[in-house]
């Protein structure tokens, strides 16, 4: 019997592993997916309800109103904004727009686990550069990994899952070292949680360097993970190419209106972000008081470099009532959620014999 062949690249494609969910009927705090613990604000819920009556219609294919709202919020032109079905989809569109088969994409590792998947599906070759022991990106090593075959470099700041943000002087030195025809993608999915005064300003880097593209999302700080809406910010010529590569009608009408409504209540959302940041500070302080060495997270999660003990530690957390995200052989990422969840986590880590 003959069978339709699949792409050879799929045989080696790593699977994306989502954060675990509590089993049906079980009670546990879900700290495994970097979600915002707060539900949407009433104004946003009203926009979702209003948009739901039109789901029999196709949405605006180019999310025109959302592009204009984002552009106004960021101080860029609307022709520089490309909405997508989450920032992961935006990354895929960016790679599809600029990568030919066999081109190289330099990326940090460990970093966002969707990177190798997106690179492979674009027909490109990923070049992994290890993250430093303190969880920071090794930008000099990433710049040194650029070759004539490099088309894109991915810079995750703050880095998922380790947490530190790239500093402004590090980024400027890096951009000065990277050729102008290599696209530098700054993945800023967690930018709203950054409080490090030395952190790089992605919008400033975008304004100063034509080869910089930003990726941002409404999933984290804005609490719209279930609606899947993010965007890329690029110079108009590059943005037009990315837009050509997007999935038609990729952002639902409900997601578009919810995102616009969220931008309209940013002050209230900022107060929620501040509360999450305060809980992150408490979590980090508690872990360090127990003797843990934890990277300086600027996101809504913290990283425990447990190595081979990661999976067993995650299982102990689940039994205690908090679900965390293990990365087998590397460590555990713990999202910042409710204060009660932090209390349970700190009880588990206090009893942990192996601390890093």
**Is a pLDDT exceeding 90 seen at residue 15?**
no
Among 264, 282, 305, where does a domain finish? 264
29 and 107 inside one domain: no
Q: Which of 283, 344, 327, 338 has the alpha carbon at shortest distance from 159? A: 327
Average pLDDT in the 21-48 region? 87
**Is a pLDDT exceeding 80 seen at residue 122?**
yes
pLDDT at position 20? 73
86 and 220 inside one domain: yes
| Least confident range of 3-7, 226-230, 270-274, 293-297 | 3-7
DSSP letter string, 16-83: P-PPP-PPTT---EE-SS---SSPPPHHHHHHHHHHHTTTTSPPPTT-HHHHHHHHHHHTS-GGGEEE
Task: State how far the Cα of 224 lies from the Cα of 230, in Å rounded to an integer.
Answer: 10
- Domain extent at residue 29: 17-34+267-350
226 and 301 inside one domain: no
> Residue 257: which CATH number?
3.40.640.10
Average pLDDT in the 116-135 region? 97
Q: Which of 128, 66, 94 has the alpha carbon at shortest distance from 258? A: 66
132 and 105 inside one domain: yes
Among 264, 295, 326, where does a domain finish? 264
186-229 pLDDT tens trace: 999 999 999 999 999 999 999 999 999 999 999 999 999 999 99
Give the predicted TM-score (pTM) of the model: 0.95
Domain membership of residue 140 (yes or no) is yes
Q: What are phi and psi of 92, to 5 degrees?
A: -60, -40
Buried b (16+ CB within 10 A) or exposed e, 244-260: ebbeeebbbbbbbbbbb
pLDDT at position 328? 93
58 and 159 inside one domain: yes
327 and 291 inside one domain: yes
Mean pLDDT of the chain: 95
For the chain, percent of residues with pLDDT exceeding 70: 97
Among 238, 264, 290, where does a domain finish? 264
What is the radius of gyration, based on Cα positions, of the chain?
20
**Is a pLDDT exceeding 60 seen at residue 277?**
yes
92 and 142 inside one domain: yes
Domain membership of residue 5 (yes or no) is no
Domain membership of residue 237 (yes or no) is yes
Cα dist from 184 to 23, 208, 356, whole Å? 40, 12, 33
Average pLDDT in the 32-40 region? 94
241-266 pLDDT tens trace: 999 999 999 999 999 999 999 999 99
Domain membership of residue 6 (yes or no) is no
142 and 161 inside one domain: yes
112 and 234 inside one domain: yes
> Residue 294: which CATH number?
3.90.1150.10
| Least confident range of 16-20, 153-157, 168-172, 347-351 | 16-20
Number of domains the chain is built from = 2
């Amino acid at each position: 019997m003959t069978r339709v062949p699949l792409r050879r690249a799929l045989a080696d494609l790593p699977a994306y592993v989502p954060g675990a969910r509590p089993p049906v009927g079980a009670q546990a705090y879900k700290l495994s997916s970097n979600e915002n613990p707060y539900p949407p604000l009433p104004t946003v819920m009203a926009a979702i309800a209003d948009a739901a009556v039109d789901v029999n219609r196709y949405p605006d294919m180019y999310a025109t109103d959302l592009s204009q709202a984002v552009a106004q919020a960021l101080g860029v032109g609307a022709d520089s904004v490309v909405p997508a079905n989450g920032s992961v989809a935006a990354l895929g569109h960016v790679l599809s727009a600029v990568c030919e088969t066999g081109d190289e994409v330099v990326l940090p590792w460990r970093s966002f686990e969707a990177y190798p998947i997106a690179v492979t599906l674009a027909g490109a070759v990923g070049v992994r550069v290890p993250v430093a022991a303190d969880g920071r990106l090794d930008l000099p090593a990433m710049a040194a990994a650029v070759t004539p075959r490099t088309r894109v470099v991915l810079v995750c700041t703050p880095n998922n899952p380790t947490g530190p943000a790239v500093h402004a002087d590090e980024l400027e030195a890096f951009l000065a070292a990277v050729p102008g025809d290599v696209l530098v993608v700054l993945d800023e999915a967690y930018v709203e949680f950054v409080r490090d005064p030395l952190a790089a300003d992605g919008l400033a880097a975008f304004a100063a360097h034509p080869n910089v593209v930003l990726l941002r999302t409404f999933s984290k700080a804005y609490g719209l993970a279930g609606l899947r809406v993010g965007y890329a910010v690029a110079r108009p010529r590059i943005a037009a190419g990315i837009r050509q590569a997007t999935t038609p009608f990729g952002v639902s009408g409900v997601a578009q209106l919810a995102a616009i409504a969220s931008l309209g209540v940013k002050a209230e959302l900022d107060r929620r972000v501040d509360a999450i940041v305060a809980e992150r500070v408490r979590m980090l302080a508690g872990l360090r008081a127990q003797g843990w060495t934890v990277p300086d997270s600027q996101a809504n999660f913290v990283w425990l470099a447990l190595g081979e003990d990661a999976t067993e530690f995650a299982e102990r957390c689940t039994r205690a009532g908090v679900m965390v995200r293990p990365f087998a052989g590397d460590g555990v990422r713990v999202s910042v959620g409710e204060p009660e969840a932090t209390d349970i986590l700190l009880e588990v880590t206090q009893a942990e014999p192996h601390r890093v």
